[in-house]
Structure 1
């Protein structure tokens, strides 16, 4: 809304503005300019989540999306399959879209609303890792690696490469530096900037990728109840906090206007900015509160969440003070919100449970009234101005911190150039590291970038990968010395379970089977073997890492 200057102290009720406000929130979309929350093609919200207790019900937090890079590789496609089996939304990233469709979805494009989305993008190109690609992503499983094949060639299904037992003289088809190091850095940068992988969920901020989200908001003042308060909400370059890396131009949302009690048929003295009903509603399951980064004006504001799509239905509200002229984080724990009907608290015997999984609207209000007849202690008629840099949902310090970046690397990455190493006794990748373009060297550099990123991570270093079935007896170690083989099925299970097990956080380890190369693991063996407890595997690695 555009602010109107007061021409006199006895201004009449602007009935036209009241009608426009009502229609903005309740009328046809062409009147409101309402923006339907966009989703990328093929992504939808699962109607049910089939997560076993052993797997962990917090995967991923907030029912977000797991981004899988290298989704058509031997481990990657198994990771995708396991996540889908668990009812987890997956965004599968691949260089070849047709190959991905054939491998992951029977050659068909996923239906809108399906758990699976397939995206054609190359992690070596930072421009391909867009804000839209990262929207809603709460975890990443990195399965991308430089392509290696036998010099003698391979079949279309890469049977020679995948079998992992018989040795064929190898060659690389692309640059290990660009894929295993630069590509990993590109994914980390995009995830840090755009995804929800830091224990918070970006709802609104002033980074270029998020600017259009502020269109959800519109002014809602006491004019709808006979008052004459007037506000506007605009994005203003230069209004934001200095030194904000997300918004170099310092754009910020400015909620400002004039609040007055001079006239009101039912209730004057409030002004607010509120989102139109969000489609779909926000799911803030697993988070503990909202955090607003604001430049205050000394007023005390109401923060209101609505878990119903009713225009004037019950809401959840609290009051937060601001300091004039100071930037601050306003933390609003969900436990601090009380259920209200306008300014009256709802009696305990009439209250319904707060639905964090369906937040339809967020509202910020300056009002003369507190609750149940009490008055806002800092309220005064006159101008106001609240600058809003961002709004996000946050996790509390007591929340379990699980990995948000799981990466499949390789055993042997620390061995090239290691003093005293006997190359003849090492796996081919170690012996041929230089010939293969420094493949292990750049995998190690990629690992180092992950460990330095600040994200909770798990780095899995498998020994020689085979096509044998899952549930092999596993051995884990740290320090990069073990040799052997391991099933891709088991590595995929480790990667997926790492997202749900706090014990896996910030670990780097090697894994192999206790079986000799010559001992074949069959489907019958897998069926007879006890199911591997991945929590115990990660606990063992954690104990080793602390020694």
Structure 2
């Protein structure tokens, strides 16, 4: 009887953790869609509701029956617009992810019956360009900036600093004292130790001896008139120059470096202005002191185009680079006291067990390096010059899935050099010689007709789409940016081609909104889609079936790592 009695008792969880795990397993993240009432937005909302993997919230300008009829039931409505910060903060409260497709559907406005209308003033090219430019600036410029600020502010105020997307390590322009924490690298882990004489810190750091002979490199660390830290100089073919921070110390144990892994941080976000060269970021841990091994991540910079006149416009030339901790690989430095030390280090470097992977722990120094051998074009005429200006260095938190999905149909090329970005006339162009005097004349009749028919984006619209992408990359949020070549009107099930996700814009063709909605619905919950910029197209070639999009994201992520 005792056994039957015990078997009839209700099951009681032994710990709260198992109950929380079950709750977490059933949790569906809430996604806010910006631009939900547009053609693409409506298809996307229906797709997400059908799959039932997320809860859908939409931002709409009004709650009239016409608006509600477009989206129906199954969604949470928030009234507001991208120009109203208060409405945005209300809309993003408790939201887990955001999909931004506002202004992305390049089609005419619809009336209450869903019929496309002609817009006044579209018979003249200048009017077309002006209206499109203004709309792009309001949506992808001002509106997107407001949305990002609202989302980050609400997360910080509701959940505290632990949920902030990023933290600042160094801010050279707004915190002038941070400039003095860096200097030309002398190869020592204690170089520039802040516990030494602070009076020794000056506005300009002179050239110092390093592991590379001074005849092979000449460099300096100085400030420009805007307060940015500037690392500049020249190196020989076999030379290198490095900038390093002072010794960084843990608050809990001064003998250790700072630990950025405990806050869930996954990498560095650096705001830089450079000359298009290949640079290295490096971090040093106890392995540098013990074995002469540091962790290095190489990255390509965008070029800083010379500007006419005396005004320095470098503030407009800054770009953001993300450097993931997992991409910092161990490398042995050549400065050793004896040959035996070098042999011991090489042996240890060959044993993965002795050199742990870098995950953000015990950072005792960080810095940047320019190597002549990594920049063959720079030393073709002897010494090669380099330029690297720093605005800030931050760390961003790692997320298992994208927090922000941004859609673009503006045909942005895979590589955007600085000469293509015209901030003064707000255009993205392939003509580096274009100036503000050429705004209308550079558009030929064929391009003008495409813009007028709304089959293509103008250079001004493309500029604001590109700047929107840059804002998202700077935000510290994990993201997926999906670019398409436009939309066709094919119905689901009538197209036998397969979805292709690729890094380059070769052979991209317009896609259906239903296909794009399927990719977005997959990306928003796909870890391999984190921090990817990709092109979506369709192809008749055989490949992975459309239903297995996670495999396509995984392959694309692997290709991104290799490049």
What TM-score do the two structures reach when normalised by structure 1?
A: 0.42
Q: Which has the higher helix share?
A: 2
**TM-score relative to the length of structure 2:** 0.41
